[in-house]
Each structure stands twice: as C-alpha cells, then as structure tokens.
C-alpha cells in the first residue's frame, strides 16, 4: 500500500486540497491540520490501513508503505507559532536530491536536519518530523528513524503482512531500514 505522498506541494495538481503545507506520510491524523475534514481524517497511514481492513482486505495482504524521502514546500508563510506547518506556500523549492522539492533521507540527514538554517520539529500526534528554514521559507516533511520505528511498530500492532518502501536508494546508509529491521526483530524475540 502506497501510504506516502498524502501531502506535498501538489496544489491543483494531484490534490487540489493541498493549499497549505502538511505531512508527506503522517502515521495518524492531526486535528490541527487545516485541510478539509475528509483529507484531515483519511490522509495518513493508520486511516489508510483501517479503510482497507473495513473493505475486507486480509491483514496478511497489506504491506504499509514507508517513505525514504521528504517533500518540500517553497515560499512558506511560516512563523514562530507554526514553524512552517499548516502554512500557506507558493511553490516547490528549487533544491532537492533528484528533483525539485524531493529530498532523499540521506541527503536530509547530511545537509538539512538542524543544518544550514533548518530547524527540526516533531509532531507527536502525527508521529512525524519536519524541517523549517524561516529565512529561505522552505518546509520539508519527511520520516526519520523514530517515525519509521513508530510505523514499523504500528504494522506489528495491526498484525499486517509487512512493510514496503519508496525508495531504497533514499536510505543509502541503511538508517531507516535498520529502524524497521530492529523493530521487527525485537518483536520476534518476544
């Protein structure tokens, strides 16, 4: 199951509702999300899994998707109150690992997480981090070791078939895949 690209700088492209910044792959919905109620409640991993289960899909056939990359927004009207989250934006940033606004995890870790004017924030409700640079007006939603481990634990808690991810080269130092492996391995030893 592709459970990422729930939000991105897709205004009037994929999702006409993406008029504010949001999480690429939130684990849970966040009541603070400014999107409409349907998007707010359903554009997250847990809701996607539960919707498939309600439709009768066997748990063993569901492999939840994990994002090994982040989505960036440009021209973000962020401030100290929202730190770029759920803020208006105007564009896709010109930077990216392999395309404008798309950042592989290894690139984020090496060049953006708490570096070059970017500050890391974490939303405990959604279970995912984001980066914001107030000077360049760029916000990046992504997953890190902690959020990937939370998603791996969710997969175990729901007794799903497993995980899949996009895309392996985005984690070229095996940080995220190690979080999945460790979470799964610890579960097996219980």
Question: What tokens does 124 get?
Answer: 């405990």
Residue 13 belongs to some domain of the structure: no
Mean pLDDT of the chain: 93
The answer, yes or no, to whether residue 45 has pLDDT greater than 80, is yes
State the virtual CA torsion across 88, 91, 93, 97 in degrees, nearest 10.
Answer: 110
The pLDDT score that the predictor gives to residue 190 is 46
Domain extent, residue 114, equals 37-188
Residue 11 belongs to some domain of the structure: no
Q: What is the pLDDT of residues 133-163, one digit of tens each?
A: 999 999 999 999 999 999 999 999 999 999 9
**Sequence-ordered list of residues with C-beta below 8 angstroms from that of 188, at least 6 positions apart, any chain:** none
Taking the model in full, what pTM does it have?
Answer: 0.93
CATH of the domain at 79: 3.10.50.10
Q: How many domains does the chain have?
A: 1
Q: Phi then psi for 52, rounded to 5 degrees?
A: -65, -40
Phi-psi region of 35 (alpha: psi -120 to 50; beta: other; left: phi over 0): beta
């Amino acid at each position: 199951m592709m459970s990422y690209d729930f939000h991105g700088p897709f205004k009037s492209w994929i999702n006409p509702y993406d008029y504010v910044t949001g999480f690429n792959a939130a684990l849970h919905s966040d009541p603070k999300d400014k999107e409409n109620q349907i998007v707010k409640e359903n554009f997250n991993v847990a809701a996607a899994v539960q919707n498939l289960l309600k439709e009768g899909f066997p748990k063993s056939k569901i492999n939840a998707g994990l994002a090994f990359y982040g989505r960036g927004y440009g021209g973000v009207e962020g401030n100290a109150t929202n730190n770029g989250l759920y803020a208006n934006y105007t564009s896709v940033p010109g930077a990216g690992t392999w395309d404008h606004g798309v950042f592989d995890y290894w690139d984020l870790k090496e060049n953006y997480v708490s570096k070059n004017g970017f500050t890391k924030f974490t939303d405990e409700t959604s279970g995912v981090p984001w980066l914001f640079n107030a000077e360049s007006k760029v916000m990046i939603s992504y997953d890190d070791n902690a959020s990937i481990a939370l998603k791996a634990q969710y997969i175990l808690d729901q007794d799903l078939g497993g995980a899949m991810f996009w895309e392996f080269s985005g984690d070229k130092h095996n940080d995220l895949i190690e979080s999945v492996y460790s979470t799964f391995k610890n579960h097996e030893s219980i």
